[in-house]
């Protein structure tokens, strides 16, 4: 019952996701969430670490795009120096902008992975679109009641993931 919420891979941070590993999976393009996946809500532009990660992907020939539920102003500013295909106010788990980003990159569901930090928007959207999905731990949650509530809802899903990886599926 959790299948559409289960990531294929679960890592601490995007820096654990290497170009070599992606290429070994046949992944040539990435659809990325921004907030709490690449940087915190408080970072308007890529951090040096994020930039180095992007540079590594570019060097390996892996394309990158952004699909965010945040505002256009935020996404455009973050993407200004990178100039990747980017979509804001995407309403994930709707997959319309994921499809647009894949068209922009000339990729398909077999060679595209989604990377995000939230189960019910990012993972669900990626799975609905038929992509390989990487979940990373949120860098820093906004400490609102709403976010903490959502995190609690995610616990059984993450347990199911651990169980699946443990070979009980
Ligand atoms: Mg996020």
Q: Model confidence over 118-169: pLDDT tens digits?
A: 999 999 999 999 999 999 999 886 556 666 777 778 888 888 888 887 754 4
Residue 151 burial (CB count, 10 A): 14
Q: What is the pLDDT of residue 94?
A: 98
Phi, psi of 42 (to 5 degrees): -90, -5
Q: For residue 167, how far is its CA from the centre of ligand 1 (angstroms)?
A: 28
Give the pLDDT confidence score for residue 145 in this predicted structure: 61
> Please, what is the end-to-end C-alpha distance for the chain in angstroms?
12
DSSP 8-state class, residue 44: S
Greatest distance between any 2 Cα atoms in the chain: 45
Q: How far is the CA of 2 from the centre of ligand 1 (A)?
A: 20
**Separation of 104 CA from ligand 1 center, angstroms?**
21
Distance (angstroms) between ligand 1 centre and the Cα of 24 equals 26
Q: What is the pTM of this model?
A: 0.87
Tell how far the Cα of 33 is from the centroid of ligand 1, in angstroms: 6
- Please state which architecture CATH assigns to domain 3-168: 3-Layer(aba) Sandwich (3.40)
pLDDT band at 14 (very low <50, low <70, confident <90, very high): very high
In angstroms, the CA 72 to CA 70 distance is 7
Tell whether the model's pLDDT for residue 10 goes beyond 80: yes
């Amino acid at each position: 019952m959790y299948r559409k919420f289960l990531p294929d891979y679960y890592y601490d941070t995007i820096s654990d996701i290497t170009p070599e590993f992606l290429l070994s999976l046949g992944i040539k393009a990435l659809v990325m969430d921004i907030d709490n996946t690449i940087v915190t809500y408080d970072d308007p532009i890529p951090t040096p670490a994020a930039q180095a990660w992007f540079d590594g992907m570019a060097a390996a020939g892996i394309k990158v795009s952004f699909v965010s539920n945040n505002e256009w102003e935020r996404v455009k500013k973050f993407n200004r120096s990178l100039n990747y295909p980017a979509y804001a106010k995407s309403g994930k788990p709707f997959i319309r902008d994921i499809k647009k980003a894949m068209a922009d990159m000339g990729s398909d569901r077999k060679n595209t992975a989604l990377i995000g930090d939230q189960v019910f928007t990012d993972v669900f959207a990626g799975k609905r679109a038929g992509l390989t999905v990487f979940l990373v731990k949120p860098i820093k949650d906004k400490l609102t009641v709403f976010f903490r509530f959502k995190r609690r809802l995610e616990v059984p899903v993450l347990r199911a993931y651990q169980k699946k990886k443990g070979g009980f599926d």
